[in-house]
Amino acid sequence: MGRKAKYATLTKYQPYIDIIMRDLQIEHLNIEVLFVRKFGRTAGYAKWHSHSDFINGTVSMDNQANHASILRTLMHEFKHIQDRSTGKLKDVWVEVTKRGVKKSIWVVAYDNVPYPNFHSDRKHYNRYLNFPWEKAARDYADGVTRLFPGNQLPTTRKLIATTSDGVKWYKG
């Protein structure tokens, strides 16, 4: 008999997600979390369903990452969700002139300061990592021990119910 694979699941991480969303005060948002096989060089990413809808979004996570990495990545991506939902991080149209030709392009603005959109450009990826919204998300994720001492759920939470489909409800 083969070894049983260990994959991250929404059932396992829902209590953590609830705490992160409550900490960021974004419980009112409808964010779907997907655990999928590793994609590219990133551990996770967040996206909205449209440029004008900041209530419904998706966070995709690497289901084969270790527990500590999953917690940090969840916190990082949900910080982006919070910044987008409050308008601190947004996509904006800007007019640029290149070689005498004017055109409008999408760029990312953080605190109303526009930045070039380098996240999908390998050549400039390290520069992207130093943009202020990435630093803010990493800083928030560095606080993982504040929310989850020892990378575990706080002991003040109590399991109050389990539904027939295995979803656990906690108090605290």
**pLDDT band at 6; cut points 50, 70, 90:** low
DSSP 124: G
**pLDDT band at 45; cut points 50, 70, 90:** confident
Please give the pLDDT value at position 4. 44
Q: Please report, for the chain, the start and end positions of each structural domain, with discontinuous segments joined by +.
A: 10-153
Residue indicated by tokens 């396992």: 12
- Sorted by sequence, the CB contacts under 8 Å of residue 47 that are 6+ apart come out as 57, 58, 60
Distance CA 158, CA 146 (A): 19
Please give the pLDDT value at position 166. 64
